[in-house]
Amino acid sequence: MLLPRIFNCLNQCRSISSTTAGITKIHRSVYARTYNPTVVVLPDGSTFNIPYHEPRKIIRLPLDLNTLPEEERKVRMDRRKPMKKIRVYEEVDDSFSSQKYIKMLKKK
């Protein structure tokens, strides 16, 4: 009689903390402030749907550059660099002569 009580007490005195939490289903009938379906695209191309807190359609996870061949890694790193702005300098060819128009301003 004492033994079953001890086992029941051991089962009920379970400590729950953030270290013991796992990834599970949200056990609610209504998901508060989540947007369904949001598609998560993994680097290998596979996809799955998740409820997400922002209204987004697709989330692409970044690709690990260490797994790529050297040529493709260089191409992707070059694309990440900021583009240099092209400056256009205009040369003003000013051949305006005010002497040409002074005679029109003089009153006779």
- pLDDT tens across 80-108, in order? 899 888 888 888 777 877 788 887 776 65
Residue spans of the domains in the chain: they are 28-93
Task: Assess whether pLDDT exceeds 70 at residue 1.
Answer: no
Measuring CA to CA, which residue among 32, 54, 59 is closest to residue 43? 59
Q: Report pTM.
A: 0.43
Q: Over the stretch 59-75, which tens digit does the pLDDT of each residue have?
A: 999 888 898 899 999 99
Cα 40 from chain centroid (whole Å):
12
Q: How far is CA 79 from CA 28, 35, 44, 62, 66, in A?
A: 44, 32, 20, 14, 16
| Phi, psi (rounded to 5 degrees) for 14 | -90, 130
